[in-house]
Chain A
Amino acid sequence: MRIGVITFPGSLDDVDAARAVRLAGAEPVALWHADHDLRDVDAVVLPGGFSYGDYLRAGAIAARAPLMQDVVDRARQGMPVLGICNGFQVLCEAGLLPGALTRNSHLHFRNRDQRLRIERADTAWTSAYTSGQEIVVPVKNGEGRYVAAPDELERLEGEGRVAVRYVGGNPNGSLRDVAGVTSEDGRVVGLMPHPEHAVEDLTGPSTDGLGFFTSVLKAVVAA
């Protein structure tokens, strides 16, 4: 099982994401944003960071990188894609996920361990959890406030597209406490919190994040 991790100029958490992939039992494959080569990977992770310094809008320029055209094409055919933090912003900007991430309502960068509720345990990246399960992983962002037009948000809730929700306090003013959303087919998931920073007792607040990376192993085999 080969899981690609894309590095953009300004990516920070690509090495941690690759490490989480390895700990989950898959082979991490480094991908470069400017290539047109997905190197035969079975799934892709877009890591956190500040691609292009958040210029224009967070994730906006990275979403137009050459490799992203390949990611969009393969995702539409069912390849699992996970976007974490800046990666989530890139997926929204690329049109693979609905809504947008904007400046935190309190205008501060927020960095803390965050409790989350898994709302959808049937996506490619969350099947290792149970629906309603609560986990703790780090969250760290300045532009993490999830927004969408009111009728769009209503539609997303109706379709069960909210995959992960903040509980015990909303760190950025996200509408309806949305921490992460999924594509219609459950193959593409994006979230602002960082499961890849919670995969080992030594370095994380828990090992709760590992489930995202073990889930996709089953999703790829089943496909």
Chain B
Amino acid sequence: MPQVVVDVVLKPEISDPQGQAVLGALGRLGHTQVTGVRQGKHFVLDVEGTPSREELEQIAETLLANPVIEDVELHLPEA
């Protein structure tokens, strides 16, 4: 079954305290080359048939992400 992947990340101007906590932990583990972490969400949708790009964008922007604070990236299956 084809899959659509949707990645949701906080907009750059919205601070991400969870990402900062992960960054702090990485530093304590000695991974000092990592200088920034942004935490997001990754959705994998099983789809039947071929939903339109418009419909998938609507799904991503009206439910999976809150456009006030988050950006979405759609990864469509190979046609």
Residues of A bordering B, CB below 8 Å? 56-57, 60, 64, 92-93, 98-100, 102-107, 147-150, 173
In this complex, how many residues of chain B approach chain A with their Cβ under 8 Å: the count is 13
Q: Are A105 and B13 in contact, with the CB atoms below 8 A?
A: no
Query: Taking CB as reference atom, which chain A residue is nearest B69?
Result: A100
CB <8 Å contact, B14 and A102? yes
Asked if B3 lies at the interface with its beta carbon under 8 angstroms from chain A, I say no
Other-chain contact of A57, B11, B18, B66 (Cβ < 8 Å): B66
Q: Is residue B68 contacting chain A, with contact meaning CB distance below 8 A?
A: yes
Chain A residues touching B, majority SS: loop
A103 to B40, CA, bound (A): 13
Cβ B66 vs Cβ A93 within 8 A: yes
Q: Is the CB of A147 within 8 A of B17?
A: no
Given contacts A60-B63, A64-B63, A149-B11, contact A104 B69 (CB under 8 A): no
Give chain B's interface residues, CB within 8 Å of chain A: 10-11, 13-15, 17-18, 21, 63-64, 66, 68-69
A98 to B15, CA, bound (A): 18
The reply to whether A147 and B14 form a contact with Cβ atoms under 8 Å apart is yes
Question: What is the CB-to-nearest-CB distance from A64 to chain B, in angstroms, rounded to a whole number?
Answer: 7
Closest to A152 in B: B68
Q: Are B14 and A103 in contact (CB under 8 A)?
A: no
Query: Given known contacts A106-B17, A149-B13, what 20 new A-B pairs fall within 8 Å (CB)?
Result: A56-B63, A57-B66, A60-B63, A60-B66, A64-B63, A92-B68, A98-B68, A99-B68, A100-B66, A100-B69, A102-B10, A102-B14, A102-B69, A103-B17, A103-B18, A104-B17, A105-B15, A107-B21, A149-B11, A150-B13
